[in-house]
Amino acid sequence: MTTRNVDARRLNVKGLLIAVGLPVVLVGALVATLLGTGAFSRENEGEDASLWLWTTPLGEIARVNGLTAATDVRLDITDAAGNAVQIEQTDSHLLLREIATGKVSAIDLSTLEVTGNAETAPGEGVRVALSDDGAFIIDQTQGLVNQVDPQTLSAIGDPLQFPAGLTGGAFDGDGMLWVGVPREGTIVQIEPQDSGAKTASTEVVAQPRQELALTVLGDGVAVLNSTAKEMTTIRTDGRRAVTPIELAGPTETAVTSPGTIASVTVTDPPSIVTVDDDQTRSFAIGAGSSELLGASVEFHERIYVPDGTSGLVWVYDLDGNELQRIEIDSGGGPVELYHTGDTLFANAVNTNAAVVVSADGVAALAPKNRDDILGGDAPPTEEDDGGDEGDENGDEESAPEIGPPGAVTNLDGTVGDGTINLSWDAAPNNGSALTKYVVEGAGQSWEIAPSQRVLEIGDLDNGQGYTFTVTAHNAEGAGDTVTSPTITPSAEVPGAPSGVQATANPDGTVTVKWDEADGQGNDISGYQVESVSGTGERTVVGQANGTELKTAAGSLDYGTQYAFQVTTLSGSAASAPSELSATVTPFNVPDAPGDLLAQTSGSAAGTIDVSWSQPSHNGSVIEKYIVTAGTQTKEVTSGTTASMSGFGNNEQVSVSVVAVNAAGQSEPANTTSNTMKAPSVQISSHESLANQINLTLAIDDGGSSDAQCSVISDGVTKSTASCPDVYAVTKLHASTSYNFQIEISNPAGSMTSSTYNASTTTINGQIYFGCDEDVDNNYCNTPNSQDGGQDGVSVYSSPGGSSVGYTHSRDRYKAYCWTTGATITPRGQESDGYADYHPGKDGTDKWIKIDYASNAYVPFAWLNIDGQGKNSVGDLPAC
């Protein structure tokens, strides 16, 4: 069974983010493995195929199986460096768009070859869409929908043109593409065809310029109108419902959802709104307010809410009862939901954690970092920082006390033939995100999205003066109303400019130029420049007396696409807008690298290891890093680590790192570090055992990761190993004093500790010989007999060796160790009867070394170890 792409897509509006360089690595690394396994076939897996999931710090994607929750391939993305990419996949194709460069690549999954490339404007503002029935490149900024061949990416037919600023861009289960046109208040169904895409239907769902979010459902589509606070659902059988909903704050919606119920996440205060045709429900959720509270989806009559802040996926039934909390290590980053077939995936992009959820709600962990599969140990990267939230979100650090918004400023308008173009600057949100602007005048009222601060009003009478009011709204209520000056439409308007060109400059500004317009009998007083972004936001960026305007650095979001229109001004009269300029992406130098860490190299003398995290590239891909340590400099074009060598031992080195993109160098990140020094060690204390001494060491390894220590016992090196905190010296004799030294070495040098004396545990023993006690027989009465006689028992130079003297009962000695020799049985039949010379002592072949002389042994048959009874040597070690 072949599933459509609607079953294999991300559930948020920005697309799966992965890093650049994938096509080359895919072809080079995976072809042998995947072609032999049929890894991309779903025929044997029903509707539960694998999906590629992204891991930001590692800079890799991992393929996770929807049935087994097992990762079978990990793929390092060369030079990822946080440069985001949108990915779309079907059974046979993979489309990738590199956000920073705009490059689109097509990969044939049956051969893993890169089969096509296309260039788009860099930055956010272009989406790719893919299904089994077609492929599209959607230029949201310019309003162009281009059908392309999924293998070659060559254009199929002419693009469809819509007003600039599109939303959505996803396929339904019938292979139809849906996009939203907020400027017209419509959504459009587009059918891919062999000769080029055609508009299949257009549905009016809102007033023009309201904020729309389009979700493709398992049955039909849902359109959230955040401005009017209503949801429109249109089912595949044509049924249509418009339902008022409660929205207390900002929202997140999915671009696709597997169920039939539309779900909206309200991020502040956290709640869920569900809509099933004309039935709506709202309930609070346990998550806290957070930018990492993501788009929720309905999956088999459960609502799943990803929460990156708490590291959870919250699960609720349709009545709002909490069913489950699925734990996932988010690493302080977002958790994103995907679906394919009958499986839901939750992916933590900042960590190696992922979760697979089955149709019956059973969640299984799916670690992405298995080491027993192809790929692994990828170099870390850092995800790209998001852009500014815009004026509407306010400045968290300086936000006023939460309340209704403030008043708009600079409310004014330009006029044309029966038209007025109102514009204004954003109202302060006062701690609660703006939800809409309400404009009233000329007997009409408009509710428009907070991202729209330009409103064209037509069908007015020339020569008649009009005033308009604008009121900002947020969840706390309405702000102060502002009234415009009187504005009078006129047919006496100048001509529109032509030749509008925009250039993004390396200092974060954008220069807009145009040809001088024909006043058509009217004096030209200036020009007004308006921007339109890929999200559909339209604002007046300024006015100019000449034919050029430069925006202020930072006034436009870096990494976001913009196009520009210019109108000619003649007093309050204005021309029609010019044609859109080409798209540009504002950019500036990167932020300074983050988390800079310089450390002593643990493996090489005179070397410092440096690491850092990927900063925001501010609209232009980071080409390299320049690492400076002391007088040395190194360029790093791949990864976020470097080793700097050639310094002296224990030298303090200043380290700085800058990021470089097309705009130039960032501010430096600075730190210092010392190189490795020669180590030192001393023996600080010890623990004694009968056959072992544990030496406690005070070690300074000099920064080495593997300093080596050798123990020298009485001048003899016994062993060498990685330096422990406690060095166990084994195979020693009891009752013995030793002199120890520790020699420590690392690549920077070595040293030997001062001498330390320590003794093993003292073990004492006492001689017992019956002839000295209570045995009275011929043998005992024979003086100086060869076996001892009344002069006691012999002490030998070795077991069975020559006698070095005699010892008697109650003589005490230190025992050093035992060995084996001739067996001595301390009893037996004598010429005058049976005699027991050591009652209770067993016959034994053990011989004990004692402190009688420098090298003296006595049979264990005549020695009792203190505290051990007669037949045990206790802890006495072997010699």
Rounded (5°) CA angle 327-311-215: 95
**pLDDT tier at 201 (50, 70, 90 boundaries)?**
very high
Judged by average pLDDT, the poorest of 35-49, 252-266, 695-709 is 35-49
**Position 378 pLDDT exceeds 50:** no
In this predicted structure, the answer to whether residue 264 has a pLDDT above a threshold of 70 is yes
CA distance to 156, 501, 855, per residue, from 570 (Å)? 43, 22, 119
Distance CA 780, CA 487 (A): 140
Q: Model confidence over 398-409: pLDDT tens digits?
A: 444 789 999 999
d(CA 861, CA 844): 6
At 293 the pLDDT is 96
Q: Is the pLDDT of residue 389 over 60?
A: no
Q: Residues 475-526: pLDDT tens digits?
A: 899 999 999 999 988 888 899 999 999 999 999 999 999 999 999 988 999 9
Over residues 4-26, mean pLDDT? 32
pLDDT grade for 548, boundaries at 50, 70 and 90: very high
| Mean pLDDT estimate for the chain | 86
Comparing 61 with 540, the larger pLDDT belongs to 540
Mean pLDDT of 281-292: 93
**Predicted local confidence at residue 234, as pLDDT:** 96
Sequence-ordered list of residues with C-beta below 8 angstroms from that of 849, at least 6 positions apart, any chain: 733, 815, 816, 817, 818, 819, 855, 856, 857, 879
The pLDDT, as a whole number, for residue 489 is 87
pLDDT attached to residue 373: 64
Task: State the pLDDT confidence band at 248, using cuts at 50, 70 and 90.
Answer: confident
What per-residue confidence (pLDDT) applies to 379?
Answer: 38
Lowest mean pLDDT among 69-73, 183-187, 518-522: 69-73
Q: How far apart are CA 63 and CA 385, in angstroms?
A: 25
Instruction: Please compute the mean of the pLDDT values over residues 456-460 and round it to a whole number.
Output: 90
Q: pLDDT above 90 covers what percent of the chain?
A: 67
Q: Give the three-state DSSP class for 154.
A: coil
Confidence grade of residue 56 (pLDDT, cut at 50, 70, 90): confident
User: Percent of the chain at pLDDT above 70?
Assistant: 89
Q: What pLDDT score was predicted for residue 73?
A: 74
The helix/strand/coil state of 658 is: strand
* 3-state secondary structure at position 100: coil
pLDDT tens-digit map of 723-765: 999 999 999 999 999 999 999 999 999 999 999 999 999 999 9
Instruction: Tell me the pLDDT tens digit for each residue of 322-334.
Output: 999 999 999 888 9
Average pLDDT, integer, range 187-214: 94
Question: Mean of the pLDDT values across residues 681-698?
Answer: 96
d(CA 138, CA 131): 14
Residues ≥6 apart with Cβ < 8 Å to 829 = none
Give whichever of 44-53, 84-93, 199-208 has the largest mean pLDDT: 199-208
pLDDT digits 0-9 by tens, 162-177: 999 999 999 999 999 9
Closest C-alpha to 525, from 512, 539, 543, 541 = 543
Query: Which has more confidence, 362 or 777?
Result: 362
Contacts of 398 (CB under 8 A, 6+ apart): none
- The DSSP result for 276-296, as a single string, is ETTEEEEEE-SPPP-TTB---
Cis peptide before 57 (omega within 30 of 0): no
Q: Supply the pLDDT for residue 67.
A: 87
Q: DSSP characters for 536-557?
A: --EEEEEEESSSEEEPPTTSS-
Confidence at residue 36, expressed as pLDDT on a 0 to 100 scale: 28
Most confident of 254-258, 607-611, 618-622: 607-611
pLDDT(557) > 90: yes
Segment 648-661, tens digit of pLDDT: 999 999 999 999 99
Is a pLDDT exceeding 80 seen at residue 192?
Answer: yes
Q: Which two tokens stand for residue 15?
A: 């697309």
Which phi and psi (to 5°) does residue 414 adopt? Answer: -110, 160
Q: What is the pLDDT of residue 401?
A: 75
Distance CA 6, CA 640 (A): 36
